Amino acid sequence: MHLLLLESDRQQAMRIKILLQEEGHVVLTTSRGLDALEQIRSGQIRMVLVNQRSEDLDCIDFTRIARRMSLTDYLYIMILFDTFNQEQINSVLAAGADDYMTKPVNPVEISLRVKNAERIAAIDTRDEALIAMAKLAESRDRCTGRHVERVRLYARELAQAMWEMGIYFGQIDANFVDLIYRTAALHDLGKVAIPDAILSKSGKLTPHEYEIMKQHTRIGADTLASVMNQPSPCRFLRMGQEIALSHHERWDGRGYPNGLSGRDIPLSARIVAIADVYDALTSARSYKPAFSHSQAVQLIIDASDSQFDPMVVEAFAAVEETFDRIRQQQSDSSEDIVSHIRPAA
Ligand SMILES: [Fe+2]
Ligand SMILES: [Fe+2]
C-alpha cells in the first residue's frame, strides 16, 4: 500500500518509515500539510498518517480539507497524537479521521492498524467494482452521458452543505458525506436489467414501457441485497440499496415504487432525488431542450414540500452555484449526447 507520513520530527519520521517499509509498504514523508495534500491529490496514496501538528496545519484542519477532496479511492486517515484528551479525539473523529494512535508508536500496534486500513481499502475496491457495474448500466442508456458521475458529485455537495448548515443534525457527518458520494453512483444500477429497446428508445415511453422502466428501482435494490447476503452488511451496500430503491419516491407520497412519504423515505434517497432531478432538468431530452441552471433551480425550489424534502431544498438553494459549476465542468461531450432520447428515470 502507498502511505504518506506527515511528520515534522525527522527522527520519528525515519523510524516509522523504516518500520512500515519492512512490512512491504511504499512510504513517502513530508513535514508540511499543504505538501501532503498536494501529494494526495495526485493519486496513489491510500493512507495518510498525520502528526498532531505539522509545520503549517493542525491535524483537524488537515483532515477536514482532505475529506473534501475529490479522490477516486477512499483515503484512510490516521492521526498520531503527542498528547491528547477526549475532546481532541472527538474533534479528529468528527473531522473525518478513521483512527488514531499515540506516540511513540508501538511497532506491533502500528503494523496491525495499517493492516486494518488495508482491509478497508480492499472493501473499497469491491465497492468500486459495483460502481463500475453501475457505470456499465449507464453506458447502455445512451441518453445519460455522464449522469452517474454528476449525480454523485451533486449528492455529495448537498450532504456537505447540510452537514455544515446543521440540517438533520446528528444524521450527517464526514462518513455520511463520503458514503453518499460513493453510493449515489448506484442509484440507476437496476437499469442493467431493462431491455435495450426501452432504455435507448427514441422519444417518449408508452405507459407500459414506463412501468417496466420504473422497475429499475426494485431491480437495483434486489441486486445489492443479493450481494449483502452476509452476516454484517456494510454501510456502503445498505445505503446503496436505500438509494437504488427510493430515489424516485416523493415527499408527498406520490412517487414510486412504494409511495413512501416524508421522513419514511431514507435521507440518502431524499438527497439523491434532488441531485438526480437537477441533472435530468439540465440535460437535453428528445421532448425538451436542456433547462438553464436558473430554470432548474426555480423548478426544484417550487417543488419543495411536494416532490422534495424542504430541508434538502434549503441546502440546495444555498449551494446552487456550486451545482452550476459542477454541471459546466462535467458536461457531456458531443459524443456522449444522443439527440433522440427517452424520458428520465
Ligand atoms: Fe438517474
Ligand atoms: Fe432512476
Q: How far apart are CA 213 and CA 196, in angstroms?
A: 11
| Tens-digit pLDDT string for the chain (345 aa) | 889 999 988 888 999 999 999 988 999 999 999 999 999 988 789 899 999 888 889 999 999 999 888 776 778 999 999 887 888 888 888 888 888 898 888 889 999 999 888 877 776 666 777 777 777 777 666 555 688 889 999 999 999 999 999 999 999 988 899 889 989 999 998 888 888 888 878 788 899 999 999 999 999 998 888 766 554 456 788 899 999 999 999 999 999 999 999 999 999 999 999 999 999 999 987 667 899 999 999 999 999 999 999 999 999 999 999 999 999 988 875 334 333 333 344
Distance 183 CA to ligand 1 centre (A): 13
The pLDDT assigned to 74 comes to 79
| Residues 167, 70 share a domain | no
- The answer to whether position 162 is within a domain reads yes
Q: Which ligand is nearest to the CA of 276?
A: 1
Residues of 282-293 as b/e, b for ≥16 C-beta within 10 angstroms? bbbbeeeebbeb
- The answer to whether position 207 is within a domain reads yes
Helices 147-165 and 267-281, packing angle to 10 deg? 130
Q: What CATH number has the domain bearing residue 262? A: 1.10.3210.10
| Residues 151, 115 share a domain | no
Distance 297 CA to ligand 2 centre (A): 20
- CA dist 123 to 47, 52, 120, 221, Å? 14, 28, 5, 19
Distance 205 CA to ligand 2 centre (A): 15
Distance 251 CA to ligand 1 centre (A): 17
β-pair partners for 80 = 51, 101
Distance 88 CA to ligand 1 centre (A): 40
- The answer to whether position 130 is within a domain reads no
For residue 64, give the C-alpha cell.
477536514
Distance 217 CA to ligand 1 centre (A): 10
The pLDDT assigned to 339 comes to 33
| Residues 182, 108 share a domain | no
Distance 203 CA to ligand 2 centre (A): 17
- The answer to whether position 342 is within a domain reads no
- The answer to whether position 335 is within a domain reads no
Distance 101 CA to ligand 1 centre (A): 42
| Residues 113, 154 share a domain | no
| Residues 7, 108 share a domain | yes
Distance 25 CA to ligand 2 centre (A): 41
| Residues 225, 112 share a domain | no
Distance 276 CA to ligand 1 centre (A): 5
How far does CA 98 lie from the centroid of its chain?
A: 16
- Domain limits at 65? 2-119
| Residues 148, 108 share a domain | no
Distance 13 CA to ligand 2 centre (A): 49
For residue 302, give the C-alpha cell.
417550487
| Residues 95, 172 share a domain | no
- The answer to whether position 133 is within a domain reads no
Distance 145 CA to ligand 2 centre (A): 14
Are 213 and 194 spatial neighbours (Cβ–Cβ below 8 Å)?
Answer: yes
pTM of the predicted structure, to 2 decimals:
0.67
| Residues 324, 245 share a domain | yes
| Residues 41, 152 share a domain | no
- The answer to whether position 334 is within a domain reads no
Q: Which ligand is nearest to the CA of 220?
A: 2
| Residues 323, 198 share a domain | yes
Distance 214 CA to ligand 2 centre (A): 8
Q: What CATH number has the domain bearing residue 43? A: 3.40.50.2300
The pLDDT assigned to 231 comes to 46
Domain-ending residue, one of 119, 153, 186:
119
For the chain, the domain total comes to 2
- The answer to whether position 284 is within a domain reads yes
| Residues 261, 185 share a domain | yes
How far does CA 305 lie from the centroid of its chain?
A: 25
